[in-house]
Chain A
Amino acid sequence: MRSFISGNDAVAAAVRLAAPEVISAYPITPQTTVIERLAEYVESGGLDAEYIHVESEHSAMSAAMGASLAGVRTFTATSSQGLLYMAELLPYAAGGRFPIVMMNANRSLALPWNIYGDQRDSLSQLDCGWIQAYAENAQEALDMTLMAYYIAENERVRVPFMVNLDGFHLTHTYEVVEIPSQKQADEFLPRFETENKIDFDRPKNFGFSAGPDWNAQFHREHHEAMLRSTQVIAEAEDKFARIFGRKYSGALDAYRCDDAEYILVTLGCVSGICRQVTDALREEGVRAGVLRIRYMRPFALDEIRAILAPARASAVLEKDISFGNAGTVFTNVGAAAMNVIGGLGGADISREHVRSIFVRLKNGENGVIWL
């Protein structure tokens, strides 16, 4: 069914199709309409789930962990200050290997206060052990959320999954989105089964301490699971394409990079205008390309470097700054000459801005540059 809906609506539609049994969430702009839709689905009987009205994001994630431990599928959503308020829980959920799916509406961090989109919230949490994916448009947000359950709950992975949408730019803009049928969703998404749940026949202890003799082994296993998820992401996308006819490209979405002399690395919905500028530049004889990162974790470092290596110069454009250093995407990529910091606190990134980045790259500029 084709509908004209917002990015947040698309996420809510995907969650309804995935049918989590417990939803716990706390409102924060610009995530709010996701949880409003879900509450409406639950109250109207359109979604058979427990909706827990928690008193904070900290409790939202705590309740999601509890429900996951009880062996049921869960969902929560947050943004910005809320994500940081649950920051303590993020490595906890990941270390406990609770396959929670969470939507994060990317938003700036206070101070100064700002409700608009940048990616400093989620990028500050890259090391918490979650899979982190960034959608570019509402359709991808829907599809990514459905796939998030497939990937997170897969027994070779069992790692929580954060689906990121640019605040307002994606969460609140309307697009035509193909909403799959429940039958298709059920065909795609297996039931959630896990051994690691509360079991009265074979009781377990969970969330325990592990001292120096054992500690690293748990983290190593978690890391290996994260690496394995790359394969599971590919499987999920293949199956998704078979059922829904839309094919995604794993960790990266490379546009006209094959013969590109200048490549702009991007994250999230700014990629669209970057591709438009690339097309325009190509017509002017400039061999430009755009490499959109879809997954920040697991991180496709080797693939990124292989794509960037033949180019004359590349830049990372990101809505983030790690104060005193550079943008976090830039330092992760490690192979780009220039780091462009833009879009902080919802600042506009225009085609002219993007064009200027390519011009500066051509001029041999490098280092951290503020739009």
Chain B
Amino acid sequence: MRLKPLPDTIPDCTAFEAGYLVTQNGGWRSERPVIDEAKCVKCRQCYLYCPDGTISQEISVDYDFCKGCGICAKICKPGAIAMRREADYA
């Protein structure tokens, strides 16, 4: 996802554009979910239960914002999601 720039000036009160993101969360991860397309049955339980909404309905992971909690891997009945060391993807 594209981030927005830091605002040049502050608003004149505490009211500002909704959903304005200037930083990502991907750097928090020590492990990343990796999806095995062959095993995925598109049940979308991972999409549903992700606290961060970082798995799309088409089951692709937004690694800019995934924090690597591992809920998706745990909830995946067919075992299509593996948690892999983030360091290996550096």
Tell me the nearest residue of chain A to B11, going by C-beta.
A196
Tell me the nearest residue of chain B to A156, going by C-beta.
B12
Binds B, one of A179-187, A201-209, A321-329: A201-209
Tell me the nearest residue of chain A to B7, going by C-beta.
A214
Measured in the bound complex, the distance between the Cα atoms of B10 and A217 in whole Å is: 7
Contacts of A203 in B (CB 8 A): 18-19
Contacts of B18 in A (CB 8 A): 203-205
Q: How many residues of B contact A (CB 8 A)?
A: 11
Interface membership of A221, Cβ < 8 A: yes
Most buried by A among B13, B14, B17, B18: B13
Interface membership of A20, Cβ < 8 A: no
Q: How many residues of A contact B (CB 8 A)?
A: 19
- B12-A204 in contact (CB<8A): no
Interface membership of A95, Cβ < 8 A: yes
Closest Cβ–Cβ distance, residue A107 to chain B (whole Å) = 31
Measured in the bound complex, the distance between the Cα atoms of B19 and A210 in whole Å is: 16
Contacts of B11 in A (CB 8 A): 196
Contacts of A221 in B (CB 8 A): 10, 12-13
Measured in the bound complex, the distance between the Cα atoms of B68 and A138 in whole Å is: 65
Interface membership of B15, Cβ < 8 A: yes
Measured in the bound complex, the distance between the Cα atoms of B11 and A214 in whole Å is: 11
Which residue of the partner chain, among B10, B13, B19, B20, contacts A96 with CB atoms under 8 Å?
Answer: B13
Measured in the bound complex, the distance between the Cα atoms of B12 and A196 in whole Å is: 9
Interface membership of A97, Cβ < 8 A: yes
Interface membership of B89, Cβ < 8 A: no
Chain B residues with a Cβ under 8 A of chain A: 10-20
| 6 A-B pairs whose Cβ atoms sit less than 8 Å apart in the complex | A97-B12, A158-B13, A196-B12, A202-B17, A203-B18, A210-B10
Chain A residues with a Cβ under 8 A of chain B: 95-97, 158, 195-196, 202-208, 210, 214, 217-218, 221, 225
